[in-house]
A and B are shown apart, each in its own frame.
Chain A
């Protein structure tokens, strides 16, 4: 085997590898754009020390809100060791924006079995927009270690079929957990 042949075979392989990697990137970029999938990247700051006193995340504002255009916004707080509120109703098959932040430490937000997923970092509001197509209760465990009570930090996201979706006069919707 002479050296030239070895180098040639390596270069051929480099070419194959480069092509494969390029193809992979194209697929990733294309699917991301086509599905408009955007992980939370809004870079919006908030003071964790005062968020319960004034502004968007005071207790009265938390929960599910139907907006004038029919879209829905859910505001919640992840705090040691619970999500507030603990039950989140959302309509089936409509765009839902979830806005979540933390007054204390880092938490995680995931709706099991869906792509609704974000870190919750104190000092920042995480926002993600998605649709839920499967009616029923979905578990919502905190997925980042936040202290010894972390394993018990679970909430429920309840996907409500359109015909049962009846918000109150202010567009608010709540739900109760069956114990």
Chain B
């Protein structure tokens, strides 16, 4: 890692994965606490401290830092120009890093045991929220750098099509800016004043509504690096071409449009909203499946091209001809399988009525470990493995530890999340530290919980091997440092303006958000609402 821009990328990715490794240890321990097996240090307090830490590290730190690092890398390699504002980018990194340390120390000292979703009127130490806010501020700098980089490139290349990898990265940056507005408003106007002692009550319904604004879109922010890899790296590694560049652009635009005005599907079971807006947002939620299904088709077709070039035959027989020994291809295969299972579960979550069977049960935890921890994070691994030789200048000494690691993660996720889904259907609540398995009504949950805990430890082994691989494996032959992205079958030199920028789409997002959220938020100022007394978890009993 000789040059500073490469160090910038590596620094982000290391912080992301160190946070991930720490959180993985916490996760495995939590699995034990929930199971009939005794765990060391098992108390309600340690459990919820751990869940707060695990949730915040996995949901906020890992993806945000990974997306930032990968985004900087794409901006340099896809646009083939130096990163504008390198100093700003480093400033963003340090701001985020300070925030992470602040939040983690506060959580571990038991001053902010409020879980990563905050849910006031529970209120912890102000340093936890400030820490999270600093991470967000750091990521806003990233957003600015991404947009600047694209504009600069467009000026230098008038009329040319922005490379798909960068187009998608900027789509994600804009999505993120919109996404953070909800939780940002909640923190600034409600939670921080309460945690500073300036206010002594808080409107819990409004807080949940603002948080829901963020809660779905953030999932797509997490997901985007995986999709960027599917469209712009995977087809090339598999030995083929991207089926359609245009469909890629359309999908990323649809993600931007439809991942935002749907957050109220997290509030289906909430009493502070009427059925009208719940129904509207459920309809919009159904539309989010469109870009995902488009992606599956386009990537499937791209892989078929690769496989047939390698001599693959038959209607589906070509699948066997893909180079499964290459980590990126193997990881993408696992990712698709998990996305398939997870997508099916997601349809249940999404439907207005079926949701009441599983809302806030272990089903939900199982679902997002499968999709986010599984499909998405395995692609984070694959991306890191792919760009590490280019950052370090060295190839991996062997691919075997990488393959073993991907298998461990996949098997671990499956063994963890399948029993977890079933426990959810039995009605096992999430976010509960211990169960009285002596109670005959729930005794039969015990064995399922144990199996799931075993899966958790397989995942932990996968997490440890991953960090080990990154740290020690890249000492092989000198590597070619140039990063090249997949070409489309028809690589466009120019594309229509609407598919080359975000002006129009930003306006449309604004319109959709007004339709979806204006009244649900405004109602709290018209209704006779009663705020709830702030309850501090960090001072006194």
Instruction: List residues of chain A with CB under 8 Å of any chain B CB.
Output: 1, 3, 6-7, 9-10, 13-14, 17-18, 20-21, 24-25, 28, 31-32, 35, 37-49, 102, 104-106, 108, 110-127, 137, 139, 141-152
Contacts and interface: CB of A to CB of B under 8 A. Distances in A.
Given A106-B119, A145-B48, A148-B48, 10 more contacts: A6-B244, A21-B287, A39-B356, A43-B271, A49-B533, A105-B532, A113-B426, A114-B427, A143-B361, A147-B535
Given A41-B271, A143-B361, A121 B430 contact: no
A166 to B, nearest CB: 25
Contact of A115 (B119, B293, B297, B356): B356
B431 interface: yes
Contacts of B297: 10, 13, 17
Interface in B324-366: 347, 351-353, 355-357, 359-361
A129 B527 CA distance: 24
A37 B119 contact: no
Contact of A17 (B294, B356, B426, B533): B294
A122 B347 contact: no
A32 B356 CA distance: 12
Nearest to B490: A3
B294 A13 contact: yes
B269 A118 contact: yes
B115 interface: yes
B432 A141 contact: yes
A141 B359 CA distance: 13
B270 A123 contact: no
A97 to B, nearest CB: 13
Contacts of A115: 353, 356-357
A46 B272 CA distance: 11
Contacts of A116: 356
Interface string B293-306: 11001100100000
Given A7-B246, A119-B270, A143 B360 contact: yes
B530 A45 contact: yes
A121 B294 contact: no
Contacts of A105: 119, 121-122, 204, 532, 535
Contacts of A119: 208, 267, 269-271, 360
A149 B44 contact: yes
26 contacts: A13-B294, A13-B297, A17-B297, A21-B290, A37-B352, A37-B356, A38-B275, A39-B269, A45-B527, A45-B530, A48-B530, A108-B360, A117-B360, A121-B205, A121-B271, A127-B271, A141-B427, A141-B432, A143-B359, A145-B119, A145-B122, A145-B431, A147-B122, A148-B48, A148-B113, A150-B431
B179 interface: no
Interface string B276-299: 001000110011011001100110
Nearest to A140: B427
B188 to A, nearest CB: 20
Nearest to B43: A148
B44 A104 contact: no
B379 to A, nearest CB: 22
B204 A39 contact: no
B107 to A, nearest CB: 14
Nearest to A3: B490
B394 interface: no
Contacts of B205: 121, 123-124
A131 B130 CA distance: 46
Contacts of A121: 204-205, 208, 270-272
Contacts of B401: none
A59 B324 CA distance: 66
Nearest to B268: A39
Given A21-B287, A104-B532, A139-B427, A110 B361 contact: yes
A167 to B, nearest CB: 26
B278 A104 contact: no
Interface in B401-443: 426-435, 439, 441-442
Q: Which of A41, A47, A147 has the most chain B CB atoms inside 10 A of its CB?
A: A41
B537 interface: yes
Contact of B119 (A20, A44, A143, A144): A144
Given A49-B530, A122-B121, A151 B286 contact: no
Contacts of A143: 359-361, 429-431
B426 A112 contact: yes
